[in-house]
Amino acid sequence: MAGISFHLNERGLVDYRADKRFTVLGLWLTGDIQASLSGCLDLLADLADLGTGRPTEEEWEGNAFSGILSVKGLQLQNDYLPAQKAEYSLDEVRPVVDDYWRFIAGPQDTDTAVLAWERDNGRTHPRRGSLL
């Protein structure tokens, strides 16, 4: 498993512990995706779609990071701190995002979030039946 884990900090906010390799990914998930089930569902769908050949690239804009998700992997760049950037393979990203979903979804009503995502996107979530 990747060198990253998630927890609630002393203020009750989602936080992470990571080795140096996964620091930028942890910052992006906890700072830009945050505890948003819909945002994490979007990311899970994009990752699943890449595995089936659609789409070839997705751009992500967040609070502090810009990202490009493609079959080549995930490229992240902090919009305010140019030195804070990283690239990850899809094989590195997928299990981390799965763990992140499990962490933030834990106590919440995930069925409602998944149904809302499916309604808004006009399709069944590609991870329904596996992770969801």
Per-residue pLDDT reduced to its tens digit, 57-114: 999 999 999 999 999 999 999 999 999 999 999 999 999 999 999 999 986 779 999 9
Two tokens, residue 4? 């990253």
Identify which has the larger pLDDT, 78 or 130. 78
User: Does residue 51 register a pLDDT over 90?
Assistant: no
Whole-number pLDDT of residue 1: 53
Two tokens, residue 66? 């810009």
CA distance 81 to 27: 12
Whole-number pLDDT of residue 2: 73
Q: State the CB neighbour count (10 A cutoff) for residue 103.
A: 18
Q: What is the mean pLDDT of residues 37-62?
A: 92
9-24 pLDDT, tens digit each: 999 999 999 999 999 9
Q: Are 11 and 26 in contact (CB under 8 A)?
A: no
Percentage of the chain lying above the pLDDT 90 cut: 86
Whole-number pLDDT of residue 38: 96
Q: State the CB neighbour count (10 A cutoff) for residue 119.
A: 9
- State the DSSP code for 76: E
pTM: 0.94
Dihedral angle sign, alpha carbons of residues 88, 90, 95, 100: positive
Two tokens, residue 59? 């751009």
Alpha carbon separation from 78 to 20, 31, 35 (Å, rounded): 16, 11, 19
Whole-number pLDDT of residue 63: 93
